[in-house]
Each structure stands twice: as structure tokens, then as C-alpha cells.
Amino acid sequence: MPRRLDASAPDFAAAFAAVLDATRDTPEDVDAAVRAVLAAVRAEGDAAVSRFTAQFDHVALTAAEFRVSADEVAAAVAACPADLLAALDLAAKRIEAFHQRQRPADLGYTDSTGTKLAQVWRPIEAVGLYVPGGTAAYPSSVLMNALPARVAEVPRIVMVTPPQGGTINPLVLAAASRAGVTEIYRIGGAQAVAALAFGTETIQPVDKIVGPGNAYVAAAKRQVFGRVGIDSIAGPSEILVVADAANNPRWIAADLLSQAEHDPSSQSILITDNKDFAAAVEAAVDDILTTLPRAAIAGASWRDHGVVITVPSLAAAIPLIDALAPEHLELAVAEPEALARGIRNAGAIFLGRYTPEAIGDYVAGPNHVLPTMRTARHTSGLGTVDFLKRTTMVHCTPDSLAAIGPAAVRLATAEGLDAHRLSVAVRLEG
């Protein structure tokens, strides 16, 4: 059964603090195992990648078999049903359109001293995309990771994804072909992250790694950060639904389970101002679980990490939302925009009774790679800007250096950095 909290109860503060403090993080033994994998791949290259692929994915691959060929991609596309390709194309079109609108503009101006100042955006040269495999195939993750990189005009986009029995889901390959991926490798896990970060004889290293994965992938990304850039450390998926009693309980139950079915460590939270409605949603969850194909996963998530909170009013939910800083937030209420205006911390917000979070996973347009584990307090979801770097430019003239240089001389002197002082002063002296 999920944990039940009543915001009006005298012990609510302590109970809510326990929800915030509950950990679903990577255990220490995962970190240690990943550290060994990274070291081996860095030292041995392809041989270590092959060994770990056999050990963890139970697939025997030589280095020559890592890369998916253009012919394999074409055959995969041809094998996909036309209706699925049409759905993929609709999703791709909407995702690309949204991310095109995220492109930042360069800036440049000359200030009152005559100094020219500018900022320009340039694409990262090579990006690695991790696409999860495991218990499900995720062509949507291919689109969400690759299309912003293509919009940013990244010249080299490398995808890695774990093979299932030596093969990759055809729709995943179709998504890659439509999203501008330039290289595809059938490897996954920490060994794939290591190959992207350090390079091997077969795989050239990249400059940044993005995309979600399991605990081992998350730990690997954390450990290679600095050698390469990363988007974030993705934890288990989570959803917070704020709903009033005017909703259909079964709709809300389905929304809660939509994230619970990802992983037993996922978390689904309901906040409502009506106790009877809360009970009705819980009953609907139990009913849906009797027929859900991934009921074992979703049921474990709901049982171990699910939370139902009743509040005296919907306005009282706002500070709880900001404290939870959820990855996905649904506002299934009569006036969702008014409620959303008061919320500071959420990865993505879905407004109204007809906007289930799952629409954002596939076809809405904004990215579904979002901050988890309360990191929405300081981090945003993946976007076009994550595949760009900004560089500033300064151009002084003799007159503008004469205007601002003396202040730099004084500050350098105060900091005891005489070469700094001298590099400006010699120019002022002529």
C-alpha cells in the first residue's frame, strides 16, 4: 500500500520530511562495480567492451560487430509497420519544431566606452546519446536525445544502446535514422559510457554524454564527468499528480501507474483535497494492476514508494510541490494555469484533465529527459542549449582600454597579481 499523509495531521511535517529524505539513489556496490568497468575499458579498449557485453548483456560481440551498418538500419526501417513509422514521424516533427524555437540568439553591442562585447553560440563537436534497453525499447528517447543535437547542428551524433539477444529494436533504429544519428553501436551499460568517454580502437571519444539509463549507467556518467560533459544524473522516474474530486479516478490512477511501470524504484505521488477521491484513486490503481502487463514492476513501485497526500486546499499543495521538485507534475484541476503560476520547482508541468504526462513522453514536443530526485530545484530538462557552448568576445580600442583599464590595474594590484596589472598598464603607458 502507498504511504498516506494528511496535511492537517499534527505529525505531517515529520512524515513529509521522511518522504523527502527517502533515498532511491545508487548503492555503493554499484559505484564500485562501475569504477572497475571504467578502468578496464580505459586500459583495454575494445577487448574490455566485448568482455563486459558478454558478461552483462549475454551477447558475444567482436569489435567489428559493435557498429550497426547502414544496411541494417535500412532493413530495420523496412521492417517497421507503416502506422508506427507515421507515429514516429509525427513525434519527430513536433519535437524538432519545439526545439528549433529554443535556439538562443547571438548577441553583440558596443558600450559607451567603445568596447565591443559579444556572445556567440557554437555546437558541441561530438555528442554521445545513451538510449536505454533492458525491459523495454525506447524509440522516443532516441528522438528526445538526438533531435535537439541535430537542431543545434552537432556534426557527430553517436548512439549507444544495449543489444537484446544481439539485436536492436527496429523502431529504435528507425528513430535514429530520422533524428540525424551519425553512428550507432550495439553496446550498453557502464562499458558503453566508458567507450564514449575514453574512446576505444573502434569508437572515437565524444565531448558530452546525454540520456537516461539504469543505476550502472547513472553511476558511470557521474564518474566520467569532467573528462566529458553530461546532461544530468538520471534517477528513477517520478510523477506527482495534483487532482481534485472532479476527475475520473481511473484516469488519475492510470497516470500514477504510467511512471510506476518504468522501474520498481520509480515514485508516484498523488496530492488531493478530497479523502474520498484519494480512496477511489487507490482502488482504481489496484484494479488496473490486475490487468497491467508490467504489474509486477508497477505494483512494487506503488507499494514501496507511492504516496497519497490529502491537503485542506489545492493552494496548500504549492509548497509541497516545490519541496518535492518532481520530474513530472500533472495539475488535473479546474484552473491549472493559476496553480502553475505559483510553482517554482518542476521538470515539466502538464495542465488540465486532458493532458496526461504520457503525452509529453511521446508527441507533445518538449523534451522528456527531465531532472529527477528533486534536482528540478536547480536543473532543467534536456534542450537545444545543452548541445551548444557559448563563447564571449571582447574587443577594446585604445580609447576604450584607456577608459576601463585603470580600474583593472587597481583591482589586479589589490589582488597581488602583478603580471595581470602589468599586461594592462604597459598598454596604457603606450
* Catalytic residue IDs: 327-328
Distances from the Cα of 364 to the Cαs of 91, 216, 285, 367, in angstroms? Answer: 8, 30, 25, 9
Supply the DSSP string of 322-380, one letter for each residue.
HHH--SEEEEESS-HHHHHTT----SEEEESTT--HHHHHHTSSS-S----TTGGGT--
Coil, strand or helix: which one is 119?
strand
Which spans in 166-306 are helix H? 170-179, 189-198, 215-224, 249-260, 275-289, 295-305
Strands 208-210 and 229-230: parallel
d(CA 229, CA 218) in angstroms, rounded, equals 13
Q: In what order do the strands lie in the sheet with 267-272?
A: 3-6, 307-310, 267-272, 238-243, 328-332, 348-351
Paired sense of beta strands 107-110 and 116-123, if any: antiparallel
* 294 vs 399: CA distance, rounded Å: 70
Question: Order of strands, edge to edge, in the sheet holding 116-123?
Answer: 107-110, 116-123, 388-395
Name the residue type at position 5. Answer: L
- In 3D space, the residue among 82, 51, 399 whose CA is nearest the CA of residue 200 turns out to be 51
Amino acid at 155: P
Name every residue whose Cβ is closer than 8 Å to that of residue 330 and which is 6 or more positions away in sequence.
239, 240, 241, 242, 243, 255, 349, 350, 355, 356, 357
Enumerate residues 6+ apart whose C-beta is below 8 A from 189: 37, 52, 53, 56, 57, 162, 213, 214, 216, 217, 220
